[in-house]
Structure 1
Amino acid sequence: MTIGDDFAIDALAGFLPLSARDRLAETLTAAEIDTLTHLAKAGTGPHSLRALASDLGYLEAWARASTGAPLAWPMSEATVLRFIAHHLFDAAERERNPEHGMPAAVAAMLRADGRLRTEGPHAPATVRRRLALWSSLHRWRGLEGPFASPSVRNALRLAVRAADRPRARKSRSAITRDVLDRLLATCGRGTALDVRDRALLLLAFGSGGRRRSEIATLEVDDLENLEPVPADPNAPSGDKLPVMAIRLRRTKTASADAGESALVVGRPVEALRAWLAFAKIAAGPVFRPIDKWGNIGAAALDPQSVNAMIKSRCAAAGLDPREFSAHGLRSGYLTEAARAGVPLQEAMQQSRHRSVQQAARYYKEGDIARGRAARLG
């Protein structure tokens, strides 16, 4: 994202973009508009706003590079079709015909602006996302865009089909229990980073493979200690394991007022309590940045730092950091559940997936190969 995207973030404040303020100025006070805009920003979330602003910045840069003018409102059907042709071209045909797809001059301008990083066609999901934002911007301005026209819809459908590009995984490899144990083995020096990262890894995995944004925004008020449970369900009077409920804030699949939570038992609870005691955290963010001198900050850990931490731990464990990301904890949890014979529906109650189809994708091919379904022939 560039400096120019800072303004775009204000323009993407949910249902009150800047273009709507003029229409509302005669009926709402400036304070009321500011209040609603603030709520819209808070409801969307800073990371989502940055992503949307980045997409808007790309659309603006592409329009100037390809047409010599800024985005027009409403946008013409021909320009939207041009956007599809520039981004969902056939890479093999491009080898034979250099004029196929995005013109070299347009690509050069976008690269010089820091907007274009890929050499080939864009992922269909990226193109769809940017077209959806473009369409939303038209609606916010009270305009009818060309995005639902038969020609645009048909061009997009056929271009995606021609691309025949499988959806890339957010993490090439799942962080299953064996991988997790290797990462945890790098957290044994007792430093602030080690204590924090051990707690974060165990909590993210044990609570169902929580997303990095959910872990980074976790606060002490979201934690609730519950009654311990027997370590052996068949021996209720024996050793007990600690239990904690984690309240889930706004996620991709639930709003903040949904009242959802995930339970963690045993090691994750012990590691989390050890971190809170080590860092003397009694309120506010649970996971916080730590500088190179070991000083613990007061703000919440940035979600990107979760990803960077996992890659750093992978390198320390002798694993290829390119193979793993924070999302590997989520896919790894469901993969491990499949290995342990946990029914998919039960695993989904912990991971909070809404779609069976989506959750089932994380039951990796290697685990399917060990099962009976692939051996019926």
Structure 2
Amino acid sequence: MQDKDLPDIVDLVREMGAFRHEDRHRSADQDHNRATHTDASGRKREFEEDGEPQTGPLSGLPAQPDTASALPQHLEDLAARARTYVEAASSPNTRRAYAADWAHFTSWCRRQSVAPLPPDPQVVGLYVTALAAGTADDVPGRPAPRAASAKPHAVSTIERRLSALAWNYAQRGLSLDRKDRHIATVMAGIRNRHAAPPRQKEALLPDDLIAMLETLDRGTLRGLRDRAMLLIGFAGALRRSEIVGLDCARDQTEDGLGWIEVLDGGMLVTLRGKTGWREVEIGRGSSDATCPVMALQTWLSLARIAHGPLFRRVTGQGRKVGSGRLNDQEVARLVKRAALAAGVRGDLPEGRRANLFAGHSLRAGLASSADVEERHVQKQLGHASAEMTRKYQRRRDRFRINLTKAAGL
């Protein structure tokens, strides 16, 4: 039976991480800018008055009792490893987004003269109300902007920020009750009043993709790289982070999300994605011009890449290949640029066309055009449910089943 006098291991790790972080990085100036608040249990909580989050896997945690300083030496390595696991629990993009959301919330609290700590459902309810009303960035005492210039946040953005607050509070050992009436009732009203259908990116079908490939210069390394990225992203239905996260082989980089194996029938991609590890089969194309395996092999051969990241930045007027991994934003820019150059959806004005395409256009394109059983498409996309896969099938099966005629009309 566990001794009730012993601290929970989670609390112990949190105390260790907070103590080491604060002890290593806190300066006299930072101490001067801190304010303390007392929660319901009578313990003092600290927060940065400027609302800027600190960096690190356990950043911004409130100071813990000095008992953490008595941590045995032989547990310090375990504490350091625990912090790396905490950091690995979420993706870098998620942590950056949550840190930015927390900074926005604490900045709003400072302007409204309310404390962000401890969590107060009424304060959070007022914050999400300000987001929905487009007044979250207003400064008290100054004239409010005109109603026409106010920009209410989308419901999806508000829900993400609410999730970010709950996550940040949890990292501080606190709990935000999202079912509290001050939050739940307000969010229900916001959804009823402001919810809108999701804006999905346009699916790029095979003819669109072939036209996009023709806009790329096969005589340059950049053109060869871009061809390989488009074809692999489409044929594998990969996310943009998965495309640039691939390595030439297993365990070659610390930041890699997977690796490739070229086989006789095609290419096997092993990925660590949102739903865990999965294997994606990318078969060879019907011609060399549209074969994703051939395109990748050509790029790797001429770029002289045999180890590390597959897709890298090309510099020196297209003659030099860097060693670092390409940013996933480059995939979205490539898709948008090539689609516009190929005249995809040329029936629409230029301004509207620019907002139609992004990295997900490749995933949606395969899901919408592959004429196979739905379960195969679901497996390729790595979805846990067929319902999610159908959301990616933008144009497939539309009006194939006519219930009007089936009913006798």
Establish whether TM, by shorter chain, passes 0.5. Answer: yes
Which SS does the other structure have where 2:267 is aligned? Answer: strand
1:322 maps to which of 343, 349, 355: 355
Shift of 1:39: 3.2
Give the TM-score, by structure 2 length: 0.72
Alignment-mate amino acid for residue 73 of structure 1: L
1:196 maps to which of 225, 244, 252: 225
1:245 maps to which of 261, 268, 293: 268
Over residues 108-163 of structure 1, what are the superposed CA-to-partner deviations in whole Å (9 max), with x where a residue is unaligned? Answer: 99x99xxxxx9432111211111122122222222243433133212212221221
In the alignment, the residues of structure 1 paired with residue 207 and residue 357 of structure 2 have an alpha-carbon distance, to the nearest angstrom, of 13
Equivalent runs, 1:158-197 vs 2, <5 Å = 158-169=189-200, 171=201, 173-197=202-226
Rate the CA distance shift 1:186–1:248 in 2: closer, same or farther, 3 A.
same
Shift of 1:373: 4.1
Rate the CA distance shift 1:80–1:287 in 2: closer, same or farther, 3 A.
same
2:260 aligns with 223
Task: Give the conservation status (yes or no) of the 8 Å contact 1:9–1:49.
Answer: no
Tell me which protein shows more helix as a share of its residues: 1
1:298 aligns with 323
Shift of 1:347: 0.7
In the alignment, the residues of structure 1 paired with residue 177 and residue 85 of structure 2 have an alpha-carbon distance, to the nearest angstrom, of 30
1:206 aligns with 235
In the alignment, the residues of structure 2 paired with residue 135 and residue 104 of structure 1 have an alpha-carbon distance, to the nearest angstrom, of 21
1:102 aligns with 135
1:115 aligns with none
Equivalent runs, 1:105-184 vs 2, <5 Å = 105-106=138-139, 119-169=150-200, 171=201, 173-184=202-213
Over residues 292-339 of structure 1, what are the superposed CA-to-partner deviations in whole Å (9 max), with x where a residue is unaligned? Answer: 5112110111001111122222232234332210111111111112xx
Shift of 1:283: 0.7
1:262 partnered with 2:262: no
Equivalent runs, 1:329-368 vs 2, <5 Å = 329-337=362-370, 340=371, 342-364=372-394, 366-368=395-397
1:51 maps to which of 97, 108, 112: 97
Tell me which protein shows more strand as a share of its residues: 2
Shift of 1:368: 3.7
Rate the CA distance shift 1:18–1:244 in 2: closer, same or farther, 3 A.
same
Give the gaps of 5 or more residues in structure 2. 1-49, 250-258, 285-290, 345-352
In the alignment, the residues of structure 2 paired with residue 274 and residue 304 of structure 1 have an alpha-carbon distance, to the nearest angstrom, of 23
Rate the CA distance shift 1:126–1:153 in 2: closer, same or farther, 3 A.
same
Shift of 1:105: 3.2
Give the TM-score, by structure 1 length: 0.78
Shift of 1:103: 7.0
1:62 aligns with 108
* Sequence identity (%): 26
Which SS does the other structure have where 2:264 is aligned? Answer: strand
RMSD between aligned alpha carbons? 2.8
Report the count of equivalent residues: 325
In the alignment, the residues of structure 2 paired with residue 5 and residue 311 of structure 1 have an alpha-carbon distance, to the nearest angstrom, of 35
In the alignment, the residues of structure 1 paired with residue 262 and residue 356 of structure 2 have an alpha-carbon distance, to the nearest angstrom, of 35
Shift of 1:211: 0.2
Which SS does the other structure have where 2:207 is aligned? Answer: helix
Shift of 1:6: 8.3
1:73 aligns with 117
